[in-house]
Structure 1
């Protein structure tokens, strides 16, 4: 076996110790691995490679801050080592240092542009923060350098779909399936391009792959959802229902969602937010527009309409509100919302400014921005204290359509309420109850907008939406499908179609959905 050039300059016994440490980590013995790698670092204090292996172990054992320190020691010995910079990016990302991670990956790409891994990491994380065009460039470099790198092909397909380049996106997903016909992520991506139905050849391939015994559960779930969507597109509703039921049943077994903690959360959040201190600055957050509500309720379309306005940046699903509140929970040693009643006006002002600081780059081009993270409705009750100038747009769709659309959609974050019809009904009831309460408490900032009303009579609905957001009417908002922004949700293809009514799908299933109708009876009335 050829000698590893990265080990050049190390004594044979040190190389053997490093390799033994790597084997111990691979074999599931991190404690022994660390003993060996620390020994190698002491034996060769002037060489970066034992330090790099030690940092990999520290990352593997979830000690990213220590990995950063170790990699910086290695870079002090080899400042222009691309792989060290790439690993430093991974460690920084694990610590939540997104900007530092991107800087490290960019540096690695500059130092050694022939290495695919830094391009892949750069592209993946640019895509996560919404810089889709730059992500596409980086992922195209990664796939050109490593055509068989399956995750890069899939992520490039995702990025192209988010940019509205659906033919190119489908080609990348097809290439991923050529490499691995049971790649659930690729099937999910193809299925999410809802304007281009999968065909009979796809159906035959999906059914054949689902017969394999070596499938991972994740791939089986994703392919089950894709098959269900395919059957629905071809009018085979009983087969579609069966496919969705099998996929969701498996996912629920893997990651069960529990209704009781959710219902308890709603009760606690409503009680904790009943009385909040008057804000120090009533205008704080006036540049933010939160679009909240159930998944599949039309929130992406409402955001797309707002993003067509010349004063608004459509930022998509930002995690920052939840992160700020989670960090405050860690600081206080209490879970949210148990500490809410104890927070002062100064506390809320501080938290609001933290959120605005984290999201500042979304206001570089436009003075206002949207945030439509699906979980933000859970925090709408504190916004009148934390970001009192912000507008909250609650989107609502007919309960049966919302519920069934959730059941048909595979969600990345698990456990998820959408894997079970009873859980979906529970979640809908909780969300609508909470939002109705918070809207009554803050009627000047929280507004309800209905999906069906928008589609049936677009212009009055859009004028009302803009008025609630404090925006002057702009004709561009009447044609949101022409907006060129990146859309990073499962509705990326749908919102690039002209507005049209008649989008109901659940009715086609007839009596198959009678159990769901019964569960939703309180909402339907």
Structure 2
């Protein structure tokens, strides 16, 4: 923001100085000071939209999206055709959970100003989060055209193209990002995750050169180490791969430590508190939903792809909605989950189940049923027989060593994460297995175990069993799951677009190098 910015036209030098000071405080993270200064600027010029806009941005940074939206609506009364105000209002609406209104706001912003790159980027990013990959690609392409050197839209466009199965185009955009910033960790992550297009010797040289840079930030260094580990594994250099993966995870765990004690406590509490739940008001509530849960890297994307090939099922991928509904109920009660479980009545569970179904209704507009493939939802399976008693739960499981190793070498977005330490991986896997066994015993009609290796050994028989467990008639399209045209928004996007392969095991090739991990997996669970 400069004094000559046309958005400041009509403001006095004093107000501009106050606005500058508030903007600097906001940029530097001095939020209380920013709020005071920006409120002062607004009071000095109550009929000008720009102080209102900056004050709204400060409220948004303070995690008060409703207050931010109110200020931006006030500003739009003064300047109804201001594209940036519409874009900022959309951001506030999205932060407040009104995604549909936010998307409409960004569309209005780009209509008013087709050159507003930030609005195209936010429109594309949020469309992608909603699974509208074609629209996301179109919006992100516009953003890249407007700002060819900008990294976030370029990398996100690569991600969207991967989800659409357009891997060659995606790789081109990741490499375009690397041409701008050779140490861009997100671009290296994207390239490495296209597992059907391995990195080559030139990439190995480039990665090592970038890892030597003293100015490489930790997030980029972590991503590059994961990419280097994958490259070395593909070349059969297993000791070098293990070293790279170990270095990446050690740095990530140092930045975001995961609490094993908190996890143990959660599993114990969740099992105890879900032992006795009220009978559901409607035993069929949720029968539209198929939850796919379990450990990451256990084949869950493959099982979802098979189900999504069925004409009655929409593949919704990894949805946050169950966790959001639970979190909002915790906030409403002022009691953390799972402690309020025993206080919830049958009416409460029914209400929460309907809230989940309302939040996910758009996934059932084309087809009557949907998947929800959020692996972490296994932590909430214990309450589903009260909250969504008609839902089907598919637990996916894979060879423990292959699962554990695959977790260790995969960079996860969400942190802190159990996969940054081998001992934590073993504990988490044992906790998940222990809890799911008990919950399956309590509700065997709705909770079903499916094993990845069994699917590889007898594909048609296991696909028929999977469909039967979901109450679906057999459809031959499910045998050709790799031909299904849908957005796949996980790290397995490339693999599930290929026929079943029996050569996906990687851990055994490491031999004695993974003996410590195998020993941890064979220990009795400390729960």
Instruction: Give the TM interval when normalised to the shorter protein.
Output: over 0.9
Could you tell me which residue of structure 2 aligns to residue 490 of structure 1?
491
> How far is 1:40 from its partner?
2.3
Unaligned runs of 5+ in 1: none
> How far is 1:387 from its partner?
0.6
* Matches of 1:473 and 1:24, distance apart in 2: 61
Matches within 5 A, 1:108-119: 108-119=109-120
Q: Secondary structure at the match of 1:439?
A: helix
> How far is 1:215 from its partner?
1.1
Say which is worse superposed, 406-415 or 255-264, in terms of deviation: 255-264
* Matches of 1:501 and 1:517, distance apart in 2: 22
Could you tell me which residue of structure 2 aligns to residue 462 of structure 1?
463
> How far is 1:434 from its partner?
0.5
* Matches of 2:395 and 2:372, distance apart in 1: 12
Per-residue CA shift, 1:352-382, capped at 9, x if unaligned?
0000000000000000000011210001111
Unaligned runs of 5+ in 2: none
Call closer, same or farther: CA 1:108–1:186 in 2, change over 3 Å.
Answer: same
> How far is 1:451 from its partner?
0.1
Q: Secondary structure at the match of 1:317?
A: coil
Could you tell me which residue of structure 1 aligns to residue 178 of structure 2?
177
Q: Secondary structure at the match of 1:479?
A: helix
Contact kept? 1:221, 1:247, Cα under 8 Å: yes
* Matches of 1:309 and 1:456, distance apart in 2: 21
* Matches of 2:30 and 2:335, distance apart in 1: 34
* Matches of 1:6 and 1:482, distance apart in 2: 51
Could you tell me which residue of structure 2 aligns to residue 516 of structure 1?
517
* Matches of 1:111 and 1:42, distance apart in 2: 28
Contact kept? 2:284, 2:389, Cα under 8 Å: yes
Contact kept? 1:291, 1:392, Cα under 8 Å: yes
Structure 1 residue 424 corresponds to structure 2 residue 416: no
> How far is 1:97 from its partner?
2.0
* Matches of 2:263 and 2:29, distance apart in 1: 36
> How far is 1:58 from its partner?
1.9
> How far is 1:331 from its partner?
1.4
> How far is 1:303 from its partner?
0.2
> How far is 1:2 from its partner?
7.3
**RMSD of aligned C-alpha atoms?**
1.3
Structure 1 residue 78 corresponds to structure 2 residue 79: yes
Call closer, same or farther: CA 1:254–1:188 in 2, change over 3 Å.
Answer: same
* Matches of 1:21 and 1:441, distance apart in 2: 57
Could you tell me which residue of structure 2 aligns to residue 240 of structure 1?
241
Per-residue CA shift, 1:382-430, capped at 9, x if unaligned?
1111111100000000000000000010100011000011000000100
Q: Secondary structure at the match of 2:448?
A: strand
> How far is 1:522 from its partner?
4.7
* Matches of 1:153 and 1:440, distance apart in 2: 48
* Matches of 2:95 and 2:209, distance apart in 1: 38
* Matches of 2:373 and 2:367, distance apart in 1: 17
> How far is 1:179 from its partner?
0.7
Contact kept? 1:439, 1:447, Cα under 8 Å: yes
Q: Secondary structure at the match of 1:489?
A: coil
* Matches of 1:29 and 1:216, distance apart in 2: 23
Matches within 5 A, 1:93-132: 93-132=94-133
* Matches of 2:118 and 2:206, distance apart in 1: 31
* Matches of 1:386 and 1:63, distance apart in 2: 30
Matches within 5 A, 1:426-441: 426-441=427-442
* Matches of 1:18 and 1:336, distance apart in 2: 42
* Matches of 2:24 and 2:454, distance apart in 1: 62
Structure 1 residue 381 corresponds to structure 2 residue 382: yes
Matches within 5 A, 1:7-86: 7-86=8-87
TM-score (norm 1): 0.98
Could you tell me which residue of structure 1 aligns to residue 474 of structure 2?
473
Q: Secondary structure at the match of 1:383?
A: helix
Could you tell me which residue of structure 2 aligns to residue 92 of structure 1?
93
Say which is worse superposed, 327-336 or 462-471, in terms of deviation: 327-336
Could you tell me which residue of structure 1 aligns to residue 314 of structure 2?
313
> How far is 1:10 from its partner?
2.2
Say which is worse superposed, 57-66 or 469-478, in terms of deviation: 57-66
* Matches of 1:32 and 1:438, distance apart in 2: 51
Call closer, same or farther: CA 1:51–1:469 in 2, change over 3 Å.
Answer: same
> How far is 1:523 from its partner?
7.8
Contact kept? 1:399, 1:523, Cα under 8 Å: no
Contact kept? 2:3, 2:16, Cα under 8 Å: no
Call closer, same or farther: CA 1:73–1:132 in 2, change over 3 Å.
Answer: same
TM-score (norm 2): 0.97
Q: Secondary structure at the match of 2:462?
A: helix
* Matches of 2:17 and 2:75, distance apart in 1: 19
* Matches of 1:501 and 1:31, distance apart in 2: 58
Q: Secondary structure at the match of 1:520?
A: helix
Contact kept? 1:456, 1:500, Cα under 8 Å: no
Per-residue CA shift, 1:312-342, capped at 9, x if unaligned?
0000000111111111111112111111122
